[in-house]
Structure 1
């Protein structure tokens, strides 16, 4: 269970066995423990791994048999040289001085790479030359592990002459004796499947780039939903080596998995996607991921398992190492962008209305036009009756379809989807209504101050009604009006403050307003709703996007 070092070993027949009974098993576990950088840690009865979880699985397997690096050191096994894993060699090796004084190179790494350098196979305690038939049998076993979504690591060794200990890694890592192949279960987190599905519906293509065997990568990709059809390509590092940059650009739109890749391959893949106009987010945790992280549009390093080099190269650090958090961040980013557009729509609609109400007066009142609203009234509208509710749009909840939309193009205008036309038309409608109420009042003999107050009040409440439509990119009828409590509070405060400016003596003195009759106030509040509800109704009925 988890990383607890408890369990039993079964042989090929399914019968329980022990390392004491199976010498090959014992040596496999010893190499797995000593050729390893992971550490098994126990805290308050809970076991965890410091280091790579895949390496940690080998440490735990060895620990189940009572084999640890410390116990081997006590028995006289001494590591004299280390060749750390890198993505080019695809293996890790250490030279061990055994109790008798001899030296042995022990290795773990990619099975296909190690098998290609293997001359001998150890079976039932005997070292036998590996025949073509045996090689095919081992390859079939590796493929079977891969099809079962198991990560594979081969275990091998070779004797080293004491005089050759200081040779370079490439001179040591050849002519192996193949001892075993581990199949390691590394199931995806349950939430990953849903997260990948959300990415797909949001138009975000998830591509797996891994050092795993191609069959393992394919099985995992199919399980979590990265591969959707037989047309999705699985491309290996060896194939990339024989692919030009232009050919890679043609392949990446159809590729779902890149397996057995090197750091250079990752960087080429990122660049090929970008050259196709894609916005690329790259995740990684190792030193070898740094070039791709740095060149991606958004480099995302793992906060728990990531190296300091990866974190320094990334734009973001994922604190919980959870892919679903990235998907949640995509949704949150879209919500923030939507809310900025909603705020701008509300603010610019108010500005168009303020300008147009004065423009209508100059165009329609002949040679001696009167100002429907004063400069101080415009200032009040901008700062209070429009500014406060518009700020509340910043905490608006996401649209229902926010993760069903396709990503916008890099070159897409901020005012795309007819937003600019909607701002102008709604602003003109609000401005016209305010001017109409001003002209209506003057025609019935009202004093200029009363007519200005009527236009001022109309414009205020027209904008307060409009802010409920600015909450959505559809229409006011599609969203619960009580869904944003901060907006309701902001509208209430703005309305009360504006009414105070109309009825309190201080407001009358500063802004030049005059108290309205109760009948006129109720009439203005009702009529001010007409532009929003009429235009939204037409939009909902006839699907006119610019309304």
Structure 2
């Protein structure tokens, strides 16, 4: 399997950090050996401590924790992730290829219009409860009132496999087993007074030609208790109106069979287009007698020869069943959030083009002029370069076979996009596998689709994809926050030692090797891990998709870590070191006893340097929690893991400075209350300085937004 963007970035980061740490180690070794003239062994140990200081030991646990926490949050938002690294890949998504039915819409079909060659009907009621009636020409209609209406409702009901179960509790929804489209045809027949059990007893099914995306229709063959047009066997076909009309040689008019004329074909397709333009889905119903005088030629005797080629021709058109699948109410906001985040949405559906375009406009997936609606037939005749030109603009794909998704996904990836694809059928598996993120439907999805996907939506809802993308972006952001925090502690570790080396030893070493290891392996670790669990920031979806080639450790992170946060902490560390010396009488006495390990001033000074770095990091971990948002807005105490980490590092400092056996190992001494008073002032000052910078950044962003309106 191909590496995820996160895996590639971590591999690159590992090399970067290794090279950087080794270079720093060699530089400090040479300075210690040749400038300060320390013994080889001391210089080597000193350099080794600096190498360890510049390696982020907690990176892998933080990445794993951040991914795991995101998966946990996503599961609460109806998205189940199968592989951890898929979470971050979601954050890089720049295009979502989504189907329509059930994902953008509620998948609760309701037939609201019926159309025959003689009249149009409206049906009241919403959902799968058979509450409503058929109305037309100012009166209510039952199926028995009109032969064409009756045959339309019967054909729609018989040509399907769905089942409806009444709710056990009052107020609950009907359970649908099978295709929701077929379920709503059952309801429309019930509203017309047709009893399903009685009908199926009168017209038992003897053969089925299942729906195929290529044919865009389905046919069932039934034996008749009472002859119809002299036939004892009949085939009902339902499917896309243009396909059914194309195969229809006859049409039912007032209960009689008449030849299909070009004028009637145009009337049917005009009605279909009118409904589709309103965002309604349309199915056509037709039939064919398989024996008797009106059967026509070419009907095989053996049922094994009942094939689509033999049966689905010379049909008699009956009418149209028009249904509404309303958009999910939360999808419009999710679409707007995608646009704000710079994520394009490409609808790929098996529905009619006008229906797809209408839904796309209603949800504002596309806006303005210049929309291209491409059918599966048109796509099959289109070259790769022409397809890419269309994909660069606003496009909706309609009447698409599931396998054609693969070509669209491949073209988008060749254009440099990170693509998420939704699917539910067996034929969707290649596209789901090819996509950077394959998203299967948990309710309507097949086992094959779920196996091929990286993520499963438990509610089949487009809004859940957007929520997952938000969490994916948070993962990458949290890893960056971890790096920023870990690297900014390297500066106050390196600067005091650099002062010692560059002064040729005139400034005694402010921080010992064991104290450096205390910071890296002790006090830094838990707060850094806490940063990996930060929830997404409010502004995270206001940014464009991240370039998958953008490095985790880029110039912006390095500048912020070393020249801003690191500089602040370095000043604090050296200030603590000098404060102890000044209180002891410096410059009237030698600075820190000239580095004598037995000198209490020197031990106190190195302890204060260590404590200053730790307390500076308390402020810096709070600063690292957000990019520009005020930490007070998200709450200083809202991340429990960071608070535990802060308590741990303060307790560890107290233990190392008060427990005698550890004092000798870590070169520490007890701190007085005056020392702690100074240390407690550090975090608020560090936070306040950063809050001023963030406020300035927020004001600048608002000014830019106003200027761009």
TM range (shorter): over 0.9
Q: Which of 52, 60, 68 is 2:179 aligned to?
A: 52
Give 1:206's aligned residue: 345
Quote the offset at 1:369 in angstroms. 5.7
- Partner Cα separation in structure 1 for residue 514 and residue 392 of structure 2: 57
- Structure 1 residues 543, 84: CA separation in 2 closer, same or farther (over 3 Å shift)? closer
- Structure 1 residues 7, 528: CA separation in 2 closer, same or farther (over 3 Å shift)? closer
1:173-203 Cα deviation digits (max 9, x unpaired): 1221110111101101111111111111111
Determine if contact 1:453/1:513 at 8 Å carries over to the other structure. yes
Quote the offset at 1:32 in angstroms. 1.2
What SS does the corresponding residue of 2:541 show, helix, strand or coil? coil
Determine if contact 2:630/2:695 at 8 Å carries over to the other structure. no
Matched, 1:29 2:153: yes
Quote the offset at 1:476 in angstroms. 5.8
Q: Which of 216, 227, 233 is 1:103 aligned to?
A: 233
Matched, 1:451 2:578: no
- Structure 1 residues 518, 284: CA separation in 2 closer, same or farther (over 3 Å shift)? same
Matched, 1:285 2:440: no
The 5 Å alignment of 1:181-330 reads 181-330=320-469
The 5 Å alignment of 1:414-493 reads 414-416=552-554, 418-425=556-563, 426-439=565-578, 441-442=580-581, 444=586, 445=589, 447-474=601-628, 479-482=633-636, 484-486=638-640, 487-493=642-648
- Partner Cα separation in structure 2 for residue 16 and residue 201 of structure 1: 48
Q: Which of 101, 126, 132 is 1:7 aligned to?
A: 132
Give 2:204's aligned residue: 78
1:18-57 Cα deviation digits (max 9, x unpaired): 1111111111111111110111112305422111111111
Determine if contact 1:9/1:18 at 8 Å carries over to the other structure. yes
Name which structure has the greater RCO, CA cutoff 8 Å, separation 6+.
2
Quote the offset at 1:253 in angstroms. 2.0
Deviates more, 1:269-278 or 1:383-392: 383-392
Deviates more, 1:332-341 or 1:63-72: 63-72
Quote the offset at 1:543 in angstroms. 9.2
Determine if contact 1:361/1:435 at 8 Å carries over to the other structure. no
TM-score normalized with structure 1 length: 0.92
1:397-439 Cα deviation digits (max 9, x unpaired): 3222111111011111113471122112232442354235335
- Partner Cα separation in structure 2 for residue 41 and residue 335 of structure 1: 42
- Partner Cα separation in structure 1 for residue 522 and residue 629 of structure 2: 24
Give 2:18's aligned residue: none
Quote the offset at 1:98 in angstroms. 1.4
- Structure 1 residues 373, 257: CA separation in 2 closer, same or farther (over 3 Å shift)? same
Determine if contact 2:622/2:631 at 8 Å carries over to the other structure. no
Deviates more, 1:511-520 or 1:267-276: 511-520
RMSD across aligned positions (CA) = 2.5
What SS does the corresponding residue of 1:189 show, helix, strand or coil? coil
Moved over 6 A (4+): 542-545
Matched, 1:393 2:548: no
1:218-253 Cα deviation digits (max 9, x unpaired): 111111111111123222222212211111011112
1:365-402 Cα deviation digits (max 9, x unpaired): x2466332223322222233222222222232322211
Determine if contact 1:472/1:479 at 8 Å carries over to the other structure. no
Quote the offset at 1:122 in angstroms. 0.7
- Partner Cα separation in structure 2 for residue 108 and residue 529 of structure 1: 71
What SS does the corresponding residue of 1:143 show, helix, strand or coil? helix
Matched, 1:114 2:244: yes
- Partner Cα separation in structure 2 for residue 537 and residue 169 of structure 1: 73
Instruction: Structure 1: state its 5+ residue gaps.
Output: none
What SS does the corresponding residue of 2:166 show, helix, strand or coil? strand
Deviates more, 1:24-33 or 1:520-529: 520-529
Quote the offset at 1:518 in angstroms. 2.2
Determine if contact 2:211/2:218 at 8 Å carries over to the other structure. yes
- Partner Cα separation in structure 2 for residue 498 and residue 41 of structure 1: 66
Determine if contact 1:87/1:288 at 8 Å carries over to the other structure. no
Q: Which of 672, 675, 681 is 1:520 aligned to?
A: 675
What SS does the corresponding residue of 1:80 show, helix, strand or coil? strand
How many residues of Structure 1 are paired with residues of Structure 2 in the alignment?
A: 542
